[in-house]
Structure 1
Amino acid sequence: MKKEESKSRLKKGMAKDIDGYIKLFPKEVQEKLKKIREIIKEVAPCAEEKISYGMPTFVLKGKNLVHFAAYRTHIGFYPTPSGIEKFKSEISVYEWSKGTVKFPLDEPVPFDLIREIVAFRAIENLEVEKSRDNSETLNDVNSKKNFNKKRQ
């Protein structure tokens, strides 16, 4: 881990909530973080906020939606590997890896792209929940069928 990032992680660990986390950074960084948070809340209003892994995290239907974090030279955006894979061509101009993309602080943050990624991830989480609900319903039906067979 780079020295600048380890310092940032120590700093982030002190925040109890997202408001507190954002206040730890310089004004110009705070504005970018606030805008990212606002976008996430607009796109996924039912998502819950928390600090996880020392960074702002949004959870939808019990699953991580996205995380974001500020560092000395960039904002890390963590939309899970599926979010990275889906938007690989759009994020190719940035430094990225399996689960994260780095938006340099000295460049405009691509808020429209963040909006698209969050929307994709929200749909993904909702589909997983819907799939889970359907499988539970099928399991309930199968259990009832098996119970009725045993009673006959």
Structure 2
Amino acid sequence: MGEQQYASVDAYIASFPHDVQTVLEGLRCAVMSAVPDAVESVSYHMPTFTFEGRHLLFVAAWKTHVALYAVPGFEGELEAEVAPYRSAKDTVKFPLRKAVPYELVAAIAARIAEQRVGG
């Protein structure tokens, strides 16, 4: 898991067990619903979403969790919601044994896209 280069996001998702595929599809849908103009690709061996030519989010699945990478710090309420899932400065992890908060994933993607436009 995670070391092979994948030809597409679909190929990456298909390489995991069905239950993890479902979670990855949920992450994908959350990002794309929040940022419809995002573009999918595979970069650094993981699904990558770009927006306006810049990286928005990287997504990866591991044995016990899924993770979002390059998630900046936020101010206020959004950071308070993200904080329990932060495992590093720019990493957010969701355990596979618990329900993934897809609404939070969408909010993260939307805020990063806002920052890209404003910054």
Is this a same-fold pair by TM over 0.5?
A: yes
Residue 9 of structure 1 is aligned with which of 2, 5, 15? 2
Q: C-alpha root-mean-square deviation of aligned residues, in Å?
A: 1.4
TM-score by length of 1: 0.71
Question: Which of the two has greater strand per residue?
Answer: 2
The answer as to 2:102 corresponding to 1:102 is: no
Structure 2 counterpart of 1:117: 108
TM-score by length of 2: 0.90
Code of the residue aligned with 2:92 in structure 1: it is V
Structure 2 counterpart of 1:131: none
Structure 1 counterpart of 2:31: 40
Q: Name the CA shift for 1:64/1:89 in 2 (closer, same or farther; >3 Å).
A: same
Code of the residue aligned with 1:72 in structure 2: it is K
Post-superposition Cα deviations, 1:70-90, rounded to whole Å, max 9, x if no partner, equal 000000112x242x4444321
Structure 1 gap segments, 5+ residues each? 1-7, 129-152
Task: Work out the CA distance in 1 between the residues paired with 2:94 and 2:19.
Answer: 14
Task: Work out the CA distance in 2 between the residues paired with 1:118 and 1:103.
Answer: 15
Structure 1 counterpart of 2:13: 22
Identity of aligned residues (%): 34
Question: Which of the two has greater helix per residue?
Answer: 1
Code of the residue aligned with 1:9 in structure 2: it is G
Structure 2 gap segments, 5+ residues each? none
Task: Work out the CA distance in 2 between the residues paired with 1:81 and 1:22.
Answer: 21
Code of the residue aligned with 1:75 in structure 2: it is V
Q: Name the CA shift for 1:81/1:42 in 2 (closer, same or farther; >3 Å).
A: closer
Task: Work out the CA distance in 1 between the residues paired with 2:51 and 2:86.
Answer: 27
The DSSP-based 3-state class of the residue aligned with 2:84 is coil
Task: Work out the CA distance in 1 between the residues paired with 2:32 and 2:90.
Answer: 21
Correspondence 1:53-68 to 2 at 5 A: 53-68=44-59
The DSSP-based 3-state class of the residue aligned with 2:7 is coil
Q: Name the CA shift for 1:124/1:18 in 2 (closer, same or farther; >3 Å).
A: same
Q: Name the CA shift for 1:81/1:47 in 2 (closer, same or farther; >3 Å).
A: closer
